Structure 1
């Protein structure tokens, strides 16, 4: 397998192979808890921590685990880091932990985490594996935040409410209401609104990719066309 450069790992995690928009993995927690920004950030940070830790640990033990117990070992590693994330949230952000509920333990079953452990971390060294975990986690976190902001704004007309649940009293006044007298749109707060919001984000990404592809194609064909024109003019002169 060809070794990927750091820039390729960064680009794949954040855009070209984003776990939420391209791989479409981890949809259960992604759609369930993104009714507000603070919920999205809480789940995203927990997932990022687990991805970083599990990728690094899997990479370190990859040469010492036999093929027959490879996947069970990966699941045990992931479960250990999920337990650590769960205990940290209980200690420092207990109210947010209660809101997220079962979706923190369910990180163990997130296919994006097990997929990266099996597809990348088990085949690469610790540094690329850690970088891959960071970038995939940040890509997943970014989608969570954007989707959470979209659903909170359209559904409730607010942004960054209850941020003190994650950041403490310093963020108590961060909540905003950009639209006064906004009639709440219950549809966006409920699960169907999450499906629609994610579909719009995927469609937006595909549209941007298509535009970038067309621009690259135009840049490639333009010099070829101008070069053939010069050849024809030279032939006429001679």
Structure 2
């Protein structure tokens, strides 16, 4: 993986650090990321025949701007509260799309795989940050599912306030990566 791809993927984590303090926001970011990267990966494959290097990166940025703009308008129409909470962070999802353009061995499912990994991380962070940081689960679900979902909130006893902020998200990402490494290293060793 080249340095450009790694940097684009790291900057693509910014929406997760800022917008995953509530599960409903993390779910929205996960859906946006999954759709954007899946559609972008499929759309970039045929463009690779005619475009390479910087031209392909520009095409990826233009395509992601189009998809993010359409998604932003739909979110604004569907839920004004979610749009207000996430509007500043959703355009940064263009960076993982840029990473797809620089993928050295792309396949038709590269975007889907990247989108699923992004969505899994977003949902994990949202669940952990809201549960352990805010001491609740399913807060503000009415933003996404309507007034009937306002009674879904579960209150847990207390929370660790640090985990609700961006530094807490970095701590949790580190712990999730360590757990992943521990799990996959322990399962790949022969018995």
Say whether the fold is shared (TM-score over 0.5): yes
Please tell me the root mean square deviation across aligned C-alpha atoms, in Å.
2.2
Say yes or no: does 1:74 pair with 2:60. Answer: yes
Per the alignment, residue 222 of structure 1 pairs with none
Per the alignment, residue 119 of structure 1 pairs with 103
Please tell me whether the aligned partners of residues 162 and 175 of structure 1 are also in contact (alpha carbons under 8 angstroms). yes
CA distances 1:187-226 after superposition (whole Å, capped 9, x unpaired): 1111211111111101100110111122xx22xxxxxxxx
Please tell me whether the aligned partners of residues 153 and 159 of structure 1 are also in contact (alpha carbons under 8 angstroms). yes
Give every structure 1 segment of 4 or more consecutive aligned residues whose post-TM-superposition deviation is greater than 3 Å: none
Please tell me whether the aligned partners of residues 20 and 126 of structure 2 are also in contact (alpha carbons under 8 angstroms). yes
* Stretches of structure 1 lacking an aligned partner (at least 5 in a row): 1-18, 219-238
Structure of higher RCO (CA pairs closer than 8 Å, 6+ residues apart)? 2
Q: Please list, as runs of the form range in 1=range in 2, the aligned pairs for 1:40-51 lying within 5 A after superposition.
A: 40-51=26-37
Give the whole-Å Cα distance in 2 for the aligned partners of 1:205 and 1:185. Answer: 23
**How many aligned positions are there?**
185
TM-score normalized with structure 1 length: 0.71
**Counterpart pick for 1:140 among 94, 102, 118:** 118
Q: Please list, as runs of the form range in 1=range in 2, the aligned pairs for 1:31-42 lying within 5 A after superposition.
A: 31-42=17-28
Describe the shift of the 1:153–1:64 C-alpha distance in structure 2 as closer, same or farther (beyond 3 A): same
Please tell me whether the aligned partners of residues 35 and 152 of structure 1 are also in contact (alpha carbons under 8 angstroms). yes
Give the deviation of 1:90 after TM superposition: 0.9
TM-score normalized with structure 2 length: 0.86
Whichever of the two has the greater Rg, that structure is 1
Give the deviation of 1:60 after TM superposition: 2.3
* Stretches of structure 2 lacking an aligned partner (at least 5 in a row): none
